Amino acid sequence: MVKLINYTSKPEITIATAARLCYSSYGIAKIEADFNDGEKGLEKARKLIKRIRTSGHESVLEHSNFTFGVEKLSRSASHQLVRHRIASYSQRSQRYVKEESPKYVVPDSIAGDEELSARYNKMLADIFSLYGYFLEKGVPAEDARYLLPNATETQIIFTMNARELLHFFRLRGCNRAQWEIRAVAQEMFKLVYPIAPSVFYGAGPACVRGNCAEGEFSCGKPSEVRMSWLKGGFDF
């Protein structure tokens, strides 16, 4: 469902070069060469990024971008995703693309119940059938789509920089976040962590690094959540 389409080449070295530049009297070529020196250079970059993350000098993380593609996402989840403003989005249009075959997401809480899932599927089949009928009658797709439910599947491509990704993982990786966007956040983390471990180590909700930030709404499972995010517990 989540694919990493592209990312800044050598994301850690790019970030480290930008960070070192702020404090170095050397020219850019020398700074770059220092980090592009095989394993030794990469180690230096990672050490510097660790310091940056501890000090909170996070603007340099914005130099590395990651582009994701997500399919089979509900419109309900995509609406939550696009609330994140420090990102670029391209989403399949319901004006230009007709939702001809009924494709929609069924939450587990409904799928696991025979009666509820039968009623859910029947209601959605009726909605999509009425949508098709409206199109046949000449209603433009941009108007017929008013019938479509939050469950309707969409696909979206988006780009976030590493700083925004850390923020996104903090909010959407928490058990308080809705399950579908949380699953997207976890999949994204699994894809980016091996590429830039110094940037994404310790990513995730507040409890990964310290205390839960949710107060009385806490899920009460901080150590479980911490282990998942720290040890790559999402089954790498």
| Count of residues that bind ligand FAD according to CB under 6 A | 10
Instruction: Kindly identify the residues of this chain, within the stretch 102-161, that bind ligand FAD according to CB under 6 A.
Output: none
Shortest Cβ distance from residue 119 to ligand FAD (Å)?
A: 27
Task: For 155, list phi and psi in degrees, rounded to 5.
Answer: -135, 145
Q: Is residue 231 at the binding interface for ligand FAD, with CB under 6 A as the rule?
A: no
Q: Which of 172, 176, 209, 226 is catalytic?
A: 172
**In terms of CB distance, is 37 or 214 closer to ligand FAD?**
214
Confirm whether 172 is a catalytic residue. yes
Residue whose tokens read 């108007």: 143
Q: Does 84 bind ligand FAD (CB under 6 A)?
A: yes
Letters for 15-54 (x = contact with ligand FAD by CB under 6 A, - = none) are: ----------------------------------------
Q: Does residue 176 touch ligand FAD according to CB under 6 A?
A: yes
Task: Decide whether 37 or 62 has the Cβ nearer to ligand FAD.
Answer: 62
- Using the rule CB under 6 A, is 82 a contact of ligand FAD? no
Q: Is the dihedral of CA 25, 26, 27, 31 positive or negative?
A: negative
Please say which residue, 85 or 231, places its beta carbon nearer to ligand FAD: 85
Scanning 14-22, 84-92, 121-129, 196-204 for contacts with ligand FAD by CB under 6 A, the matching segment is: 84-92
Among 83, 119, 122, 221, binds ligand FAD (CB under 6 A): 83
Three-class secondary structure assignment of the chain: CEEEEEECCCHHHHHHHHHHHHHCCCCHHHHHHHHCCHHHHHHHHHHHHHHHHHHCCHHHHHHCEEEEEEEEEEHHHHHHHCCCCCEEEEECCCCCCCCCCCCECCCHHHHCCHHHHHHHHHHHHHHHHHHHHHHHCCCCHHHHHHHCCCCEEEEEEEEEEHHHHHHHHHHHCCCCCCHHHHHHHHHHHHHHCCCCHHHHCCCCCHHHCCCCCCHHHCCCCHHHHHHHHHCCCCCC
Q: Tell which one of 13, 171, 199, 208 touches ligand FAD (CB under 6 A).
A: 171
Active site residues: 172
Task: Kindly list the residues in this chain that would bind ligand FAD in the complex (CB under 6 A).
Answer: 83-86, 164, 167, 171-172, 176-177
